[in-house]
Amino acid sequence: MDNIVDQLEYLFALERRGIKVGLEHTYQLLGQIGNPQQSFNSIHVAGTNGKGSTCANLASILKNANYTVGLYTSPHLVHFNERIRVNGLPIPDDYILKYISRFRQHIEAIKTTFFEATTAMAFWYFEKRNVDIAIVETGLGGRLDSTNVLNPIQTIITPIAFDHSDILGKTIEEIAFEKGGIIKSRTPLILAKQKPVVKKILLNIAKQKNSSVITCNNSSVKTTAQITTSTKFYINGIPFYTPLKGYHQGMNAVTSVVSINHFDPKIPKEVIQNGLSNVFWPGRLQQMDTIKPIYYDVAHNAHGIHTILHMFRSWWKKKPIGILALKTDKNINLIAPILKDSFSELIVTSFPDTKTLPAETLRKTLIREGIPCTMINDVNIALTTLKENVNNNTPGLIFGSHYIANTVFEYFSFSFDNGFI
C-alpha cells in the first residue's frame, strides 16, 4: 500500500482508538524507531489558548535567525502535512509513506492512537532533517500528553483556562496542574500572564523541580480603536509588532520574544522583528473577504471566544453577524453566557463529515439559554447569508472550531499555498 491517500486513511482510522492519556505507548513506539526525540533540542509549549500562535512565532523567528527549525502543532486546518514542518514547509508525502510503511507493524502491535503515531512521526522526521531545534505544541494537557516524552531545553506555558474538562479536570486548579506537567527539572520555564490561582500552582511546580521562571511582566500591548494590519507591543520599552491581530496576539508575541531572548540572547532585535513579520498562521482573526470585514477565528472555548468578542467590541460600534459551529466535546454551558447580547444575528450550523455538533442540538441549547439564533444546515447558504448582510459597519465572524476551516477556505477561495486565489 503505497498511495498517500490510503496511508492517511489508515492513519486517521487510528482515531477509533480514541484519546489515551499516558506516555507508555509513545515511549514504546519511539523505542522501536530509534528514539529520535533524543537527537534534537526542543522547546515544549503547553497552555489553553495561544500556544499554536506562540509556536508559529518561535519557528518563524528562529528560521529567520538561520536555525533549522522543526514545528509540530495540532490540529491541522486543511491538510494533515501542516502538523509537521521544517523551516515552514510541511512534511512531504513521501516521508509519510516511508514512516507508515516502515513502522506500521509496531503501530499495530503497540495499538497506538492517531496522536501517538503522529507525534512519533514528527520526531522521526525532525531527526531525518537534522533540525537544530524543534518547537513542539502539546496536543491535550501536558503531564500525560504524548509530546511529554521530550527532554526540552525550555518550556513555555501560555494562558490557561477551562477546556477539555472531561479529561483534564473540573476545576482550573486541576487543569493548571495537568498543563504544568511539562515543567522539567532544572529547565527554564517561560510563563505567560496567568490568573493568580494558576500562576501560584505553576510557580509551585517549578519550585519543586528547581526550574527557573521567566515571566512576561515587563511588557505591554497597544491596540487601536480600529482593526489594523498589525498589533504593536513593547518589551522593556522596546517596540515590536506582529501581523496577527488583537491584544491576545500581542501577548502571544510577547511570550515568544521573551522565550527567544532567553534561548539565544545574541539574536538581534531586527532579526526577531523580521521573523515576527513573516509569521503565517491562518484562522486567527483572519479576514476572509478581500473587501468586506468577514473574519474567521478558530476560537473554540469560553476564554478564546470571550477574547475575540472583546476585540470586536473595541473595533466596531455595531454587533457582528456570527456563524458558529462547535466541536462535540465543547462545554456549551460555559460558552453560552459569552454569546448573549454579543451578535446582531447568530447563525448556527454544522459541517458534514467533521466532529462538529449537529446544528439542531446547538440551536436548542442556545435557545434554552436565552440566545436567539437561526439554524442553517447548508454551510454554503450560511456563508452566503453572512456575506450578503455584512457591510463596512457590521462585521462578520465565523468561529468555534478548527474543523470547519477547509469549508470556509474553499468558500472564500483561500489557498495555503497562494493566499487568496
| pLDDT tens, residue by residue, 338-376 | 999 999 999 999 876 667 889 999 999 999 999 999 999
Residues 242 and 199 in one domain: yes
Residues 56 and 200 in one domain: yes
What is residue 417's predicted lDDT score, i.e. its pLDDT? 66
DSSP 8-state secondary structure symbol assigned to residue 354: S
Query: Quick one: 37 exposed, middle or buried, by C-beta within 10 A (0-12, 13-18, 19+)?
Result: buried
| pLDDT tens, residue by residue, 156-174 | 999 998 655 555 657 999 9
Contact 387, 292 (CB under 8 A): yes
Contact 414, 420 (CB under 8 A): yes
- Residues with Cβ within 8 Å of 118's Cβ and at least 6 positions away in sequence, in order, are 11, 74, 83, 84
What is residue 70's predicted lDDT score, i.e. its pLDDT? 98
What is residue 16's predicted lDDT score, i.e. its pLDDT? 84
Beta bridge partners of 41: 133
Residues 218 and 298 in one domain: no
Domain end residue (candidates: 243, 277, 311) = 277
What is residue 2's predicted lDDT score, i.e. its pLDDT? 66
- Residues with Cβ within 8 Å of 76's Cβ and at least 6 positions away in sequence, in order, are 82, 83, 402
Residues 250 and 357 in one domain: no
Task: Give the pairing of strands 374-375 and 345-348.
Answer: parallel
- Please say if the pLDDT value at position 421 is more than 60: no
Domain end residue (candidates: 244, 277, 310) = 277
Residues 195 and 314 in one domain: no
* pTM to 2 decimal places: 0.94
Residues 261 and 407 in one domain: no
What does the mean pLDDT of the chain come to?
92
Residues 58 and 114 in one domain: yes
- Alpha helix (H) ranges present in 264-378? 269-277, 302-315, 332-339, 359-368
Domain end residue (candidates: 208, 243, 277) = 277
Residues 226 and 317 in one domain: no
Which has more pLDDT, 161 or 213?
213
Contact 116, 26 (CB under 8 A): yes
pLDDT, average across residues 387-410: 94
DSSP 8-state secondary structure symbol assigned to residue 267: S
- Residues with Cβ within 8 Å of 280's Cβ and at least 6 positions away in sequence, in order, are 56, 60, 88
Q: Which residue has the cell 450550523?
A: 349
What is residue 223's predicted lDDT score, i.e. its pLDDT? 67
Query: Cα–Cα distances in Å, from 8 out to 52, 83, 118, 319?
Result: 23, 13, 11, 42
What is residue 21's predicted lDDT score, i.e. its pLDDT? 72
* Euclidean distance between the first and the last CA atom of the chain, given in angstroms as a whole number: 34
Residues 109 and 222 in one domain: yes
Residues 234 and 87 in one domain: yes
CATH number of the structural domain spanning residue 18: 3.40.1190.10
| pLDDT tens, residue by residue, 294-335 | 999 999 899 999 999 999 999 999 999 999 999 887 778 889
CB burial of 381-398 (b: ≥16 within 10 Å; e: otherwise) equals: ebbebbbeebeeebbbbb
- Please say if the pLDDT value at position 418 is more than 60: no
**Distance (Å, whole) CA 383 – CA 398:** 9
**Distance (Å, whole) CA 300 – CA 324:** 10
Contact 93, 4 (CB under 8 A): yes
Which has more pLDDT, 248 or 420?
248
Residues 226 and 344 in one domain: no
Number of domain units in the chain: 2
The residue segments making up the domain with residue 107 are 4-277
Nine-digit cell at 349?
450550523
CATH number of the structural domain spanning residue 341: 3.90.190.20
- Alpha helix (H) ranges present in 140-265? 165-168, 172-179, 196-208, 247-263
Residues 168 and 262 in one domain: yes
| pLDDT tens, residue by residue, 187-201 | 999 999 999 999 999
- Please say if the pLDDT value at position 222 is more than 80: no
